Amino acid sequence: MKQLLTLLIALLIATPAFAQQKREEAKNKAGALYYTHSGSSYVLHDNTANVDYTGTGNIVGPAFFYERIILSRFTVGVTYSSMLERSMDIKTSTATVNVVENITMTTFDFKAYFKDHRRPGWKPYLGVSFGTMAVADTLSVTTTGTTTATEEETKATVPVTFLRAGMDLTMGFGGVRIDFGQATGSRRDLESSTNYRAKYVMDGSSLAIGVFSHF
């Protein structure tokens, strides 16, 4: 009888630990972020006047990510968005150019955490990302003194590198992420318009806040 009671007590003690261990076996994260990229610039070169004009503005939009956890303290993954946007107004000597950007971002991400993923809580990390930002711009050019706008396009695929620092708050099977990044990367447009050339300078900082599933 004592042996049976001892076995039952041992099972009762072990059951929560077993359930916790099962929960710790999660090796993946997948989630959504709201992404803001500031400080980058769009340099528009007027072929006729041989002058550069610079536009700035925040790149914003949703992004999605997947990561695989390795050895509980490292992750490899990918971040993707085809819905990033930016709008700028650039005034030249003869026209106002409204620039609307549609950006597709793809990065491969590597992170090292200061705490393992075996328990819930805050998990700070440092990381690096390599990838591209494919930018397509529509230029609506309104010449001074007229109300008619003509449209032109520039586009380029810009290689980018991010240095990252952030924190994940894991809570069972979900969590919250705050991510800060410092980006570098630039490139001239690959298909020049008739009257303009463009240079994309992605140097700047990023902030992403979102949620994820931990499974």
pLDDT tens digits, 34-93: 999 999 999 988 887 888 999 999 999 999 999 999 999 999 999 999 999 999 998 887
Helix or strand run (H / E) with residue 51:
strand 51-56
Q: Which residue has the tokens 């709008």?
A: 87
Task: State percent of the chain over pLDDT 70.
Answer: 86
The answer to whether the Cα torsion of 10, 16, 22, 26 is positive or negative is negative
Could you tell me the two tokens for 54?
A: 């610079």
Q: Which residue has the tokens 């990390």?
A: 125
Q: Phi/psi at 123 (nearest 5 deg)? A: -135, 95
Q: In CATH, what is the architecture of 27-214?
A: Beta Barrel (2.40)
pLDDT value of position 20: 44
Cross-strand partners of 207: 36, 180
pLDDT digits (tens, 9 = 90+) for 161-190: 999 999 999 988 899 999 999 999 999 987
User: Does residue 208 have a pLDDT over 70?
Assistant: yes
Nearest CA among 163, 152, 159, 165 for reference residue 195: 152
**Which residues does 210 contact at the CB level (< 8 Å), separation at least 6?**
31, 32, 33, 34, 63, 176, 177
Over the chain, what is the mean pLDDT?
Answer: 86
User: How many residues are there in the chain?
Assistant: 215
